[in-house]
């Protein structure tokens, strides 16, 4: 098994030294215009990079080998030990899930075979969206539609520029639009005072407006705007940095927009009952769509989170937090939260997949742990089994789902290292059960 996996990785090693139209797996928006060169010293981003992508593509991998109990072993032995642990477990937890489409498909197959639980490490942020989608629905746009059509962007309580350094460059103020359509000047409204506004510049940007409330109260501002759009009388808001004139001015901008977009990022909405803020953001677009074109755009999606959620839905019929303990998929967003289960000491094995960035370390737990991770993964303690795997879009080819959930984009093998894909290791473990 070991030799076949390694031969496959080496056989698919990219021969080119300069790669164009490279898709970055390190950002949920999957920017696909990077130029990356492979040199003797490693990979180098030569065009269209940002601080995050440059650091991730050019990261030097430390030496890494499969380990069992902290001791280096060959890959066959590590796979057999992982299969042994999974075979003995009554309720294995499959977490992390930072992988590509093929890797997530392999996770789902192994979870079903072993009666396990499936949940992404970053699903808590996603559930700020899922709760709204499941209860009230929403009207959403895509990155391409927003780039080409929007004339009003409302950045709602979310530090978009920090999470997605090229969002303003490529979506809000791109150099050109599709079909030679001259996109209108964009008005950008920031709701929040802790947001990085430095990206809102360029020839496409017209007016930049700031409503300086606390970031966590952006939902309240949008609720006031919705009330004014419906003609209700409201009192002066008791919000620092916000006046009723600010609210009315934003309502008027929304009313006069030809194509408005309210943008938020669930990872930024890290405060109690954040789903209520998302409900207001989504509700604004539904209200305005009665008379004009207005939509929401949710960002985030790092560490393959959108990919994991999409593949889980395709296969099980449910979003993340699915259990196969009964032999059939069972969905419960509270009961099958792996973070909660670990805290309450539920489950008897943690299988952690973290193939994209070294920051996605498994949480502290007393459970025996199997880790399929990128070399250099920041581990708090040695797991029972560690198997180094490649990063999709760097060490092997694959597919990822973009944050707007409308396309899967291919990612290339840039030939950084001869590391096997997580999908191959997971399939080998399943075969060894």
- Tens of pLDDT along 75-134? 999 999 999 999 999 999 999 999 999 999 999 999 999 999 999 999 999 999 999 998
Query: Do 131 and 78 have their domain in common?
Result: no
Q: State the Cα–Cα distance between residues 116 and 93, nearest whole angstrom.
A: 6
The β-bridge partners of 209 are 189
- At 176, is the pLDDT very low, low, confident or very high (cuts 50, 70, 90)? confident
The β-bridge partners of 190 are 155, 210
Q: State the Cα–Cα distance between residues 190 and 212, nearest whole angstrom.
A: 8
Q: What is the pLDDT of residue 390?
A: 98
- At 183, is the pLDDT very low, low, confident or very high (cuts 50, 70, 90)? low
CATH number at residue 198: 3.40.228.10
Residue 382 has pLDDT above 70, yes or no: yes
Q: Mean pLDDT score of the chain, rounded to an integer?
A: 93
Query: Do 204 and 157 have their domain in common?
Result: yes
By C-alpha distance, which of 90, 28, 122 is closest to 338? Answer: 122
Query: Do 401 and 265 have their domain in common?
Result: no
Cα torsion angle, 87, 89, 92, 97, sign: negative
Average of per-residue pLDDT across 129-152: 93
Q: What is the pLDDT of residue 178?
A: 72
Give the whole-number percent of the chain exceeding pLDDT 70: 95
Q: What is the pLDDT of residue 203?
A: 86
As for how many domains the chain has, the answer is 2
**Exposed, middle or buried: residue 379 (CB in 10 Å: 0-12, 13-18, 19+)?**
middle
Query: Do 309 and 286 have their domain in common?
Result: no
Query: Do 118 and 161 have their domain in common?
Result: no
Structure tokens at 58: 């050019």
Query: Do 308 and 263 have their domain in common?
Result: no
| Four-point Cα dihedral 298, 131, 310, 343, nearest 10 | 110
Q: What is the pLDDT of residue 3?
A: 45
| End residue of a domain, out of 300, 316, 336 | 300
Residue 365 has pLDDT above 80, yes or no: yes
Q: State the Cα–Cα distance between residues 402 and 425, nearest whole angstrom.
A: 24
Decide: helix, strand or coil at residue 246. Answer: helix
**Range(s) of the domain holding residue 162:** 126-300
- Residue of 281 and 176 predicted with greater confidence: 281
Query: Do 64 and 179 have their domain in common?
Result: no
Decide: helix, strand or coil at residue 362. Answer: coil
Average of per-residue pLDDT across 160-169: 94
Contact yes or no for 95/369 (Cβ under 8 A): no
Pairing of strands 205-211, 186-191: parallel
φ/ψ of residue 19, rounded to 5? -115, 125
| End residue of a domain, out of 300, 332, 347 | 300
| End residue of a domain, out of 270, 300, 330 | 300
- At 5, is the pLDDT very low, low, confident or very high (cuts 50, 70, 90)? low
Structure tokens at 385: 């089994």
Average of per-residue pLDDT across 194-210: 93
Helix, strand, coil shares of the chain, percent, nearest 5, are 35, 20, 45
By C-alpha distance, which of 318, 195, 324 is closest to 263? Answer: 195
φ/ψ of residue 412, rounded to 5? -95, 160
Contact yes or no for 360/303 (Cβ under 8 A): yes
Q: What is the pLDDT of residue 181?
A: 63
Query: Do 242 and 162 have their domain in common?
Result: yes
CATH number at residue 360: 3.40.50
Q: What is the pLDDT of residue 7?
A: 39
How many CB atoms sit inside 10 A of residue 69's CB? Answer: 11
**Residues 274-287: tens digit of each pLDDT:** 999 999 999 999 99
Q: State the Cα–Cα distance between residues 370 and 207, nearest whole angstrom.
A: 52
- At 8, is the pLDDT very low, low, confident or very high (cuts 50, 70, 90)? very low
Q: What is the pLDDT of residue 1?
A: 43
Pairing of strands 186-191, 152-156: parallel
Residue 199 has pLDDT above 90, yes or no: yes
**Residues 385-409: tens digit of each pLDDT:** 999 999 999 999 999 999 999 999 9
Helices (H) and strands (E) in the chain, counts: 14, 19
Query: Which of the 8 DSSP states describes residue 327?
Result: S
Decide: helix, strand or coil at residue 256. Answer: helix
By C-alpha distance, which of 310, 212, 188 is closest to 261? Answer: 188
Distances (CA, A) of 198 to 114, 160, 187, 297: 49, 11, 15, 20
Give the whole-number percent of the chain exceeding pLDDT 90: 88
Query: Do 165 and 111 have their domain in common?
Result: no
Query: Do 271 and 184 have their domain in common?
Result: yes
**Residues 284-331: tens digit of each pLDDT:** 999 999 899 999 999 999 999 999 999 999 999 999 999 999 999 999
Query: Do 141 and 191 have their domain in common?
Result: yes
Q: Which residues contact 4 (CB under 8 A, 6 or more apart)?
A: none
Query: Do 295 and 309 have their domain in common?
Result: no
Distances (CA, A) of 23 to 29, 394, 414: 10, 9, 11
């Amino acid at each position: 098994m070991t030799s076949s996996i390694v031969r496959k990785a080496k056989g698919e090693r990219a021969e080119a030294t300069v790669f164009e139209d490279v898709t970055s797996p390190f950002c949920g928006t999957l920017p696909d215009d990077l130029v990356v060169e492979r040199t003797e010293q490693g990979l180098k981003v030569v065009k269209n990079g940002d601080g995050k992508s440059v650091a991730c593509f050019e990261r030097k991998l430390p030496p890494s080998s499969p380990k069992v109990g902290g001791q280096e072993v060959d890959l066959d032995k590590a796979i057999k030990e992982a299969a042994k642990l999974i075979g003995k477990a009554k309720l294995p937890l499959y977490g992390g899930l930072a992988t590509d489409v093929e890797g997530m498909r392999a996770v789902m197959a192994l979870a079903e075979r072993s009666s396990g639980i499936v949940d992404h490490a970053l699903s808590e942020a996603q559930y700020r969206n899922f709760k709204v989608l499941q209860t009230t629905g929403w009207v959403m746009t895509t990155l391409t539609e927003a780039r080409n059509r929007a004339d009003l962007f409302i950045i709602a309580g979310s530090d978009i520029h920090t999470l997605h350094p090229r969002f303003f460059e490529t979506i809000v103020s791109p150099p050109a639009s599709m079909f030679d359509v001259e996109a209108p000047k964009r008005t950008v409204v920031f709701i929040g005072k802790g947001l990085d506004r430095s990206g809102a510049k360029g020839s496409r940007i017209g007016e930049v407006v700031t409503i300086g409330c606390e970031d966590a109260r952006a939902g309240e501002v949008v609720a006031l705007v919705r009330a004014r759009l419906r003609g209700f009388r409201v009192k002066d808001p008791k919000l620092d940095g916000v006046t009723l004139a600010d609210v009315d001015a934003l309502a008027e901008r929304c009313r006069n927009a030809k194509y408005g977009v309210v943008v938020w990022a669930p990872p930024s909405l890290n405060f109690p009952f954040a789903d209520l803020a998302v409900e207001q953001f989504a509700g604004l677009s539904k209200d305005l769509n009665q008379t004009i074109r207005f939509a929401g755009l949710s960002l985030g999606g790092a560490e393959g989170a959108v990919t994991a959620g999409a593949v889980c839905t395709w296969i099980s019929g449910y979003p993340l937090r699915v259990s196969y303990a009964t032999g059939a998929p069972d969905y419960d967003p509270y009961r099958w939260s792996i973070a909660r289960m670990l805290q309450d000491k539920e489950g008897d094995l943690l299988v952690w997949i973290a193939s994209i960035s070294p920051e996605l370390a498994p949480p502290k737990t007393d459970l025996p742990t199997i880790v399929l991770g990128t070399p250099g993964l920041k581990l708090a303690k040695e797991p029972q089994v560690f198997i180094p795997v490649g990063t999709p879009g760097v060490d092997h080819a694959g597919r990822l789902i973009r944050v707007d959930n409308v396309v899967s984009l291919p990612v290339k093998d840039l030939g950084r290292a001869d590391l096997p894909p997580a999908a191959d290791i997971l399939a080998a473990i399943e075969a060894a059960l």
